[in-house]
A and B are shown apart, each in its own frame.
Chain A
């Protein structure tokens, strides 16, 4: 480890702490009222969207109506995407003559892009036409905006009182897309091209290399897709190797710009939350808890990657850092930072081959996802999940001191705790059961690439990534087989709707309640004690369920590796 590698995550967190306020304030204005400098341009577009869809943006909805509208837009989005991918060979903008996307791949991909997972069982440059990539891009705007609508319901539960309604879904969705996704992605794309990414509709280039051989170089509208994939915490990249591909991230400057892009909204919504409940200290307490877990993860991952693989180090070369599946322009430090962030902030695009990480380096990424992606997480749902943990933390604190738990002036009753527990148990159940089935069936076992405990990690990683709506992968697993296409598809659905709808219900239930003034018996939720309690809840209640898998997978492999054993 070097100091230069070590300071990188700290710099990123410092930058994000500075950007939280301006972006959070902007988000508050977009969703909760107030004017922004973009209103003159986007206002007409917004009104047009309402008009052609027959939407009344003023109509307030109960959480159930809000939730049903959310499901409807995802269901229709799935069907449209499914059809468009299946008929791509008959549509224009297909210079590489890609044929129809196979059935199970389409099934998986359509789910993947509407749930903001962007798990990719296909490799972009050999499967998708340019037009299909553009359909996928549209969902990369829509699905993260839906993530914010999830969060708004829960936060309005705290910010409103004696209210049967939680806002208008269509208005929140349209404003999330037009005011947040579109302008930032446009700016982001132009910067990415300036930093080197291509943006064209040219046929694949045929080059005669300097040495005289033939090389076909894939082209396409790369920057526009990369920009929204990072900004929207989607991770659905243009190429198979995603952000490791030199066209997607040509240099460290481009990669770090993408890092900031991906961080913006997850950090912004924390500040927005503080403004909505009118308690900014509360928002900063959550920011600090997330940052602490992020920094520990980043340093740990960097430590294991820099120490490298003792089996290889034993050969006696000049350097020790693990460079299998990494790119020279990023090096070990920046790659480790990006791989930690991609699983914590949940964008899921990789700048390395995660399958080739050291066992414990890989464990950090697995852990990040198994927390339920609450270490910032993607748009809205990251903070929403963290608020689920907050509910559990105040409940646990209430049990310890024998008081009725309350948070932000709302009494937390049995109903809210049950719903928050569902949010916790459903993903764990899905990941563990699906992993277990895969390890006991031929279809599951035959898809494993690496031998030994690493194979178990590959499978657990796939379902963790699916349920967490992350989308990064241990790439060795043959995820495009019908078995993994179907089961990871199922995992992505479980990790989106059954996981977060209980928290929508919490929002609806809290909105109905009256706020009670804080008293001497109220457990303070802004200080270091609470931050510590919250982190412990995430680690002990959230991730410890997975410990047996960690022990049999990455931890077993680590000890084997130290002992010099190959499988």
Chain B
């Protein structure tokens, strides 16, 4: 048995170096050269400063922006500590969360009815960092966003439309709108009308 332990130790030292360090180093080297944008976190910059990652949702609270999904991280959209709410279906906290979020959406978007709100806009995401909303969630914010930014509804509508991404192969996943990209385009539009 001692002999097996000794053999194991020697084999494992080799394997840990090869698979832990060697493998990770090779993948990093290759991908940093081949796909530097993705490999470095899909970061977006403005005037040389990082404003975020297109893959990571960020907190929007101002009415001039499209607002993303509820996030269960502390604080919301904490990209250094992902988490879900973990609320079970019969947990009163879940119902309270949904009702609070509905009230928020209704208050932010006058004229919108409860029956127009998709569930995904009032239920927390899994990662707490969901960068996307459904097209319907974006459209229901169009009137407000247009009003606050002094744009026409059709302008903002077209903006949303051009940011819709479809399903993978038309089957897998869901169509979505990336909130950060949409808001960046919105900012651009308001600065250069």
Residues of A participating in the B interface, judged by any CB pair closer than 8 Å? 4, 7-8, 11, 45, 48-49, 52-55, 68-69, 72-73, 75-77, 80, 123, 125-126, 134-135, 137-138, 141-142, 170, 173-174, 177, 181-182, 185-186, 189-190, 193-202, 204-211, 213, 215-219, 221, 223-225, 227-228, 239-241, 244-247, 250-253, 255-256, 308-309, 311-312, 315-334, 350-353, 355-359, 449-454, 457, 474-476, 557, 560-561, 565-567
Q: Which of A182, A328, A356 contacts B85 (CB 8 A)?
A: A356
Q: Which of A73, A208, A450 contacts B49 (CB 8 A)?
A: A208
Q: Which residue of A lies closest to B79 (CB)?
A: A217
Partner of A311 from B55, B89, B123 at Cβ < 8 Å: B89
Q: How far is the CB of A68 from chain B (nearest CB, A)?
A: 6
* In-complex Cβ contact of A76 among B8, B40, B87 (8 A): B8
- In the complex, the answer to whether A223 meets B31 with C-beta atoms within 8 Å is yes
Task: List, in ascending order, chain B residues with CB within 8 A of A318's CB.
Answer: 115-119, 136
Give the interface centre of A182, A207, A359 by most chain B CB atoms within 10 Å: A207
Cβ A356 vs Cβ B87 within 8 A: yes
Q: Which of A213, A317, A355 contacts B119 (CB 8 A)?
A: A317
- Chain A residues lying within 8 Å of B18, measured Cβ to Cβ, are 45, 138
- Are the C-beta atoms of A125 and B80 separated by less than 8 Å? yes
> Is A190 a contact partner of B167 (Cβ separation < 8 A)?
no
Asked if B82 and A123 sit within 8 Å, CB to CB, the answer is yes
> Whole-angstrom distance from the CB of B29 to the nearest CB of chain A?
9
Bound together, the chains give a CA A73 to CA B5 distance in angstroms of 7
A7: B residues at CB distance < 8 A? 171
A244 and B11 contacting across the interface, CB-CB below 8 Å: no
A38 to B62, CA, bound (A): 57
A64–B20 alpha-carbon span in the complex (Å): 30
Question: Complex Cα distance A182/B23, Å?
Answer: 8
Enumerate 17 A-B pairs (CB-CB under 8 Å) in ascending A order.
Answer: A8-B172, A72-B4, A80-B16, A123-B82, A137-B20, A138-B19, A170-B11, A207-B58, A208-B50, A213-B59, A217-B53, A245-B82, A317-B117, A320-B119, A323-B119, A324-B94, A331-B173
Tell whether A328 pairs with B27 under 8 Å between CB atoms, given A134-B20, A318-B118. Answer: no
B28:A317 contact, CB within 8 angstroms: no
In the docked arrangement, what's the CA distance between A413 and B183, Å? 70
Taking CB atoms, residues of chain A closer than 8 Å to B123 are 312, 322-326
User: B90 touching A566 by the CB < 8 A rule?
Assistant: yes
Whether B161 is near chain A, meaning CB under 8 Å from some CB there, is no
Q: Min CB distance, A305 to chain B, in Å?
A: 11
8 A Cβ contacts from B123-149 to A = 123-134, 136
In angstroms, how far is the closest chain B Cβ from the Cβ of A258?
Answer: 12
Contacts A315-B98, A328-B132, A557-B90 given; does A76 touch B125 at CB 8 Å: no
B154 at the binding interface (Cβ < 8 Å): no
- On whether the beta carbons of B125 and A327 are closer than 8 Å, the reply is yes
Are B27 and A311 interface neighbours, CB within 8 A? no
- In the assembled complex, the Cα of A164 lies from the Cα of B21 at a distance in Å of 39
Question: Closest 10 A-B residue pairs measured CB to CB?
Answer: A252-B173, A331-B174, A353-B84, A244-B126, A476-B86, A138-B20, A454-B88, A72-B4, A450-B88, A252-B168
Q: Are B41 and A205 in contact (CB under 8 A)?
A: yes
Q: Is the CB of B119 within 8 A of A319?
A: yes
Q: Chain A residues with Cβ under 8 A from B5's Cβ?
A: 72, 75-76
**Contacting residues, chain A, for B116 (C-beta < 8 A):** 318
CB <8 Å contact, A68 and B61: no
Q: How far is the CA of A227 from the CA of B56 in the complex (A)?
A: 20
The answer to whether A76 touches B85 (Cβ under 8 A) is no
Contact status of A205 and B53, CB under 8 A, knowing A198-B38, A223-B31, A319-B120: yes
- In the complex, are the beta carbons of B28 and A199 less than 8 A apart? yes
Q: How many A-B residue pairs have CB under 8 A?
A: 403
Cross-chain contact B119 with A312 (CB below 8 angstroms): yes
Once the chains bind, are A215 and B58 in contact (CB under 8 Å)?
yes
A327-B130 in contact given A76-B9, A199-B32, A334-B173 (Cβ < 8 Å): yes
B7 within 8 Å of A (CB atoms): yes
Distance in angstroms from B85 CB to nearest chain A CB is 7
Bound-state Cα–Cα, A223 to B167, Å: 22
8 additional contacts, CB 8 Å, given A193-B34, A317-B115?
Answer: A52-B14, A75-B8, A199-B38, A210-B60, A253-B172, A315-B98, A317-B117, A566-B91
A560: chain B residues within 8 A (beta carbon):
90
Contact of A177 among B15, B80, B128, B183 (CB under 8 A): B15
Q: List residues of chain B with CB within 8 A of the CB of A181.
A: 19
- Which A residues lie within 8 Å of B134 (CB)? 328
Q: Which of B52, B84, B88 contacts A210 (CB 8 A)?
A: B52
- Residues of chain A within 8 A (CB-CB) of B84 are 241, 244, 325, 352-353, 355-356, 475
In angstroms, Cα B53 to Cα A317, docked, is: 31
Partner of A205, one of B50, B98, B99: B50
Residue from B21, B125, B187 having most chain A Cβ neighbours under 10 A = B125
A529 to chain B, nearest CB (A): 35
Residue of B61, B65, B127 most packed against chain A (CB within 10 A): B127
Is B111 an interface residue when CB atoms closer than 8 A count as contact? Answer: no
Chain A nearest CB: distance from B13 CB in Å? 8
**In whole angstroms, how far apart are the Cα atoms of A8 and B184 in the complex?**
34
Residues of A within 8 A of B16 (CB): 80, 135, 138
Q: Do A49 and B130 contact each other (CB < 8 Å), given the known contacts A75-B8, A193-B35?
A: no
Q: Are B81 and A561 in contact (CB under 8 A)?
A: no
Given A215-B79, A252-B168; A356-B86 close (CB under 8 Å) = yes
Expressed in whole angstroms, the Cα–Cα distance for A141 and B116 within the complex equals 48
